[in-house]
A = this chain, B = another copy of it.
């Protein structure tokens, strides 16, 4: 069955710092003309870095859009067109101070396929040498370390609602089960 929708008009309605927003119209395979709003984002990475005690580095930070503090796996935004492994290798040092070794690709996530083009690529890595934390000017966060079981408990109990962190927990669990 043909499902693709053909773009008829494309209009940028907001061109911001992190996101660009489009208001398009499209033709469905049935021939209907429908409005389609799209948030464009360059994409990001999530990085699960495990230390020698089997604990993962976690980031606690204030999330302005959600008006609350969250606990998440370290993550970062790609430069447009950047290879996600390059982003992951840079961001894990910037957020934790430690470089990662033995990176393993875990998979990808569409956070909000209904209206957002963002794709997040996930990596697992082991803690390497200390290089020094280096945060962006508008980035403030606290580091902690948690076991995978603690992260899954947090998801189940509603203390870890971040999509990327829950998805990565499932993929790490499966990676370890299937070894």
Knowing A137-B32, A155-B170, the reply to whether A64 touches B38 (Cβ < 8 A) is yes
How far is the CB of A176 from the nearest CB of chain B, in Å?
A: 12
Across the interface, do A19 and B3 meet the contact criterion of CB distance under 8 Å?
no
Complex partner residue of A170 from B14, B137, B170, CB under 8 angstroms: B170
Q: Which of A54-101 contact B (CB under 8 A)?
A: 60-66, 69-70, 72, 75, 77
The chain B residue sitting closest to A32, CB to CB, is B138
Across the interface, do A109 and B166 meet the contact criterion of CB distance under 8 Å?
yes
Across the interface, do B13 and A16 meet the contact criterion of CB distance under 8 Å?
yes
Q: Which of A30-66 contact B (CB under 8 A)?
A: 30, 32, 34-39, 41, 44, 60-66
Across the interface, do B65 and A115 meet the contact criterion of CB distance under 8 Å?
yes
Residue A110 is within 8 A (CB to CB) of chain B in the complex: yes
Mostly, the A contact residues are mixed
Residue A156 is within 8 A (CB to CB) of chain B in the complex: yes
Interface size on A, residues (CB 8 A): 72
Q: Which of A160-179 contact B (CB under 8 A)?
A: 161-164, 166-167, 169-171, 173-175, 178
Across the interface, do B155 and A65 meet the contact criterion of CB distance under 8 Å?
no
Question: A174 to B158, alpha carbons, bound, how many Å?
Answer: 13
Residue A111 is within 8 A (CB to CB) of chain B in the complex: yes
The chain B residue sitting closest to A158, CB to CB, is B107
Across the interface, do A19 and B1 meet the contact criterion of CB distance under 8 Å?
no
Which residues does chain B contribute within 8 Å of A38, judged by CB atoms?
A: 64-65
Question: A78 to B156, alpha carbons, bound, how many Å?
Answer: 22
How far is the CB of A166 from the nearest CB of chain B, in Å?
A: 4
Across the interface, do B163 and A109 meet the contact criterion of CB distance under 8 Å?
yes
